[in-house]
Amino acid sequence: MPVCPSSSLDLNQIPRNQWLAIYRTMCRARFTEQRMIRLYHQAKIFGGVYTGFGHEAIGAGTAHAGGDNDLFTPCIRDLTVHLARGLSVLDVFRQFLARATGPTRGRDGNVHYGRLDQGVYAMISHLGAMISVAVGGVMARRRQGLDAVAMAYVGDGATSTGDFHEAVNYASVFDVPLLVVIENNQFAYSTPNSQQYRCKHLIDRAPGYGIEGVQVDGNDAVAVHLKVREIVGEMRQTPRPVLLECDTLRIRGHGEHDDAGYIPEALKAEYAARDPLDNMRRSLTDAEIATARELDTIDSECQQEIDEGYQQALAEPMPDPATLLEGVYAE
Amino acid sequence: MTQTLAETGVVERTYVDCIRQALQQLLRDDDRVVVFGEDVGAFGGAFKATLGLQEEFGRDRVFDTPIAESAIIGSAIGMATQGLRPIIEMQFLDFMNTALHQLINNAATIHFRTGNAVPITVRAPCGGGFGGGPFHSEELETIFCHMPGLKVVYPAFPCDARGLLVSAVEDPNPVVYLENKYLYRHVKECLADNFEPVPIGVARVCRRGSDATIITYGAMVHESLAAADVLAAEERQIMVVDLRTLKPYDHDTILAAVAATNRVLVVHEAWRCCGFGAEIAAGIAERGFHLLDAPIMRVAAPDVPIPFAPSLESVYRPSAGTIVEALRELIEY
């Protein structure tokens, strides 16, 4: 279903640094998660590890199209969004290692974090619930005179929730500039799309909300980024919600406890051949945006950041048990 | 020079008048305040608590939403975390159940998890006594009081209705503001235009007595006062404490009131099992066991869905009559 093969897209229409930033975000996310997986299997992580393997093009391609005032509600597989908005790899390790210094000060685990000063909300586990938060946040920013937009991330599974419906309809009624990024990775935990919905494509629902729906190849960061720049540019001028359906496949299990044996091998092989990082490297070298050697340098810089981040987080303390009751209420 | 009544703006005000007055003042005084919910705009709300506010402050500040309770609370979380002070009207408290995750999993946990304040006020018309049946009469305070991160207030009088609403909106936390539908137009007070906020967390002794103490809130304050009148004719003096705030509740006022009579009756309109009275009774038992001359008693609704027929609802809902019976038993123990 690739709709926008990047081979036909002109990368030179935006600055080279932007592409390199997207590539770097994808690498930071991928390599951080590779390290997380290793730590999980070494029992050095508390709780689960949920990764975005195969989803890096979506988060990086969309979040790098945002401006300073924009708001984001990333979901489970969107480490790229946090990193694109300025979160450090160090903070990610602090979060997963339950450090007092981390974004939730050890109060919440794994993917439930976000820094509002970077325009990023911490998700709750109830899928679809964050869409309306993004809606209200951007309504407030608009009221304050900012030309903000919001990007809310959901999987195919969350589109079955009442919250998805409520929030998208609500955003449509109020002409809220909201990009609903549907990461259609074909499985909600173990449930395949055939048991999740019966429309052909999820964006087939867009006309029912009176809004536009757009499909894009979710393994192609160039395609995602160029399409989202265009949509967001229009949205700032003429506020309205848009559904963006990104086709991809979840390459690993729901979490590292899950071997994803229910995903057919042939399907895995098909998407492995279109890995978003490999795709991006090919796009950037083919278009002569960067040489393989320059990209290798970015890779090794990311690896070094991850080594340092992990070691530093490891050396930091977990929250003091005496602070258990603190922070329930704002003063 | 003394002011005339007209000059001070002293007029008879109902409970719902006072809610509207507080909303109007909040909208006037604070540009961050927005009021929204189902039918709250030009229509003025199902109970007319927002009547005229859209006309005065515009659709930007006072607006109708789709029927989407979860998105209403979710969007309020978004607004509150971006500097607004949203006041939501849940048309009936009963409908909040479809949005509980937004309130208790999302809004209530955000400060603990991330350090970001979520100053939202959820107004929730609640309670029965008017033939509303099972889905328009509920009293669910116990759910909200159970959840760390929420505050819960429940005025019984017009002056507290406006004073607590201002405090709820000024509070940096999510506050569930329970307003009793039966009281909307049944309770009136002569009040001036000007008013002070009523602090969250402070109960009020609304009647002094020496023979027994009633701890109550909401519409049951008025039933309790009526019961106290009945016993006063029998030379029994009943103390009545109106909690006003259920979370955090006022332990000290409760204990002092128990100490004054050594006999305590907890009264609420909500169901008995795990009702808020169970928390009050447990708190008294833990901290004031030595003060008691009799077992703590409760008057609450029986554990059945709220019935519709007047012949059933009148025996379902606690009343001055059932409170009088319980008081007699308590005093004679």
Structure confidence by residue, pLDDT tens digits, A230-259: 999 999 999 999 999 999 999 999 999 999
Q: What is the DSSP letter of B157?
A: S
Q: What is the DSSP letter of A323?
A: G
CATH number at residue A140: 3.40.50.970
The H or E element containing residue B216 is: strand B212-216
**Domain interval for residue A239:** 14-314
pLDDT score recorded for residue A7: 63
Domain count for chain A, please give it. 1
Condensed to tens digits (0 to 9), the pLDDT of residues A178-211 reads: 999 999 999 999 999 999 999 999 999 999 999 9
The residue-averaged pLDDT of A265-269 equals 95
Helix (H, G, I), strand (E, B) or coil at B62: strand
Condensed to tens digits (0 to 9), the pLDDT of residues A122-146 reads: 999 999 999 999 999 999 999 999 9
- Please report, for residues B18, B91, B168, B195, the alpha-carbon distance to residue B48 in angstroms, rounded to integers and kept in the order given: 12, 11, 20, 21
Q: In a 10 Å sphere around its CB, with 0-12 CB exposed, 13-18 middle and 19+ buried, how is residue A237 labelled?
A: exposed
Kindly state whether residue A27 falls inside one of the protein's structural domains: yes
Cα separation, B107 vs B151, in Å, equals 11
CB within 8 Å: B83 and A140: yes
Sequence length of chain A is: 331
The residue-averaged pLDDT of B195-212 equals 98
Condensed to tens digits (0 to 9), the pLDDT of residues A43-68 reads: 998 889 999 999 999 999 999 999 99
pLDDT score recorded for residue A6: 61
> Residue B166 is encoded by which pair of tokens?
């201002």
Condensed to tens digits (0 to 9), the pLDDT of residues B61-114 reads: 999 999 999 999 999 999 999 999 999 999 999 999 999 999 999 999 999 999
Q: In a 10 Å sphere around its CB, with 0-12 CB exposed, 13-18 middle and 19+ buried, how is residue A9 labelled?
A: middle
**CB-CB contact of A279 with A56 (8 Å):** no
Cα separation, B19 vs B153, in Å, equals 13
pLDDT score recorded for residue A47: 86
ipTM above 0.90, yes or no: yes
Minimal C-alpha gap between A30 and chain B (Å) = 25
The residue-averaged pLDDT of A36-40 equals 96
Kindly state whether residue A326 falls inside one of the protein's structural domains: no
pLDDT score recorded for residue B9: 85
Please, what's the b/e burial string for A97-123 (b: 16 or more CB within 10 A of its CB; e: otherwise)? bbbebbbbbbbbbbbbbbbbebbbbbb
pLDDT exceeds cutoff 90 at A9? no
CB < 8 Å & 24+ apart, contacts of A260-267? A260/A187, A262/A187, A262/A190, A262/A192, A263/A186, A263/A187, A267/A186
Kindly state whether residue A6 falls inside one of the protein's structural domains: no
Where does the pLDDT of residue A4 fall: very low under 50, low under 70, confident under 90, or very high at 90 and above? very low
Kindly state whether residue A297 falls inside one of the protein's structural domains: yes
CB within 8 Å: B114 and A103: yes
Kindly state whether residue A215 falls inside one of the protein's structural domains: yes
* Amino acid in the structure at residue A203: I
pLDDT score recorded for residue A131: 98
pLDDT score recorded for residue A2: 42
Cα separation, B216 vs B259, in Å, equals 16
The residue-averaged pLDDT of A82-102 equals 97
The residue-averaged pLDDT of B145-150 equals 98
pLDDT exceeds cutoff 80 at B1? no
pLDDT score recorded for residue A3: 40
pLDDT score recorded for residue B8: 75
CATH class of B9-191: alpha beta
**CB-CB contact of B107 with B118 (8 Å):** yes
The residue-averaged pLDDT of B174-185 equals 98
Tell me if chain A has a CB within 8 Å of the CB of B30: no
CA-closest candidate to residue A191, choices A266, A250, A126: A250
pLDDT score recorded for residue A124: 96
Instruction: Tell me which chain B residues have a C-beta less than 8 angstroms from the C-beta of A162.
Output: 70, 98
Concatenating the DSSP letter of every residue in B96-121 gives GGGGHIIIIIIIHHHHHHH------E
CA-closest candidate to residue A58, choices A219, A171, A204, A175: A219
pLDDT score recorded for residue B286: 97
Chain mean pLDDT for chain A:
96
**Domains B9-191 and B204-332 equal at CATH topology level:** yes
Cα separation, B110 vs B183, in Å, equals 33
The residue-averaged pLDDT of B214-243 equals 98
Instruction: Tell me which chain B residues have a C-beta less than 8 angstroms from the C-beta of A330.
Output: 111, 117-119, 172-173
Q: Which residues of A lie inside 8 Å of B (Cβ-Cβ)?
A: 71, 103-105, 107-108, 112-116, 121-122, 124-126, 129-141, 143-144, 162-163, 166-167, 169-170, 173, 327-331
- CATH level 3 topology of B204-332: Rossmann fold (3.40.50)
Question: Greatest CA span in chain B, whole angstroms?
Answer: 59
**CB-CB contact of A104 with A112 (8 Å):** yes
Cα separation, A57 vs A27, in Å, equals 10
Instruction: Tell me which chain A residues have a C-beta less than 8 angstroms from the C-beta of B174.
Output: none
Domain boundaries, chain B: 9-191, 204-332
> Residue A158 is encoded by which pair of tokens?
């969350």
Report the C-alpha dihedral over residues B316, B94, B108, B176, rounded to 10 degrees: -70
Q: What is the DSSP letter of A120?
A: B
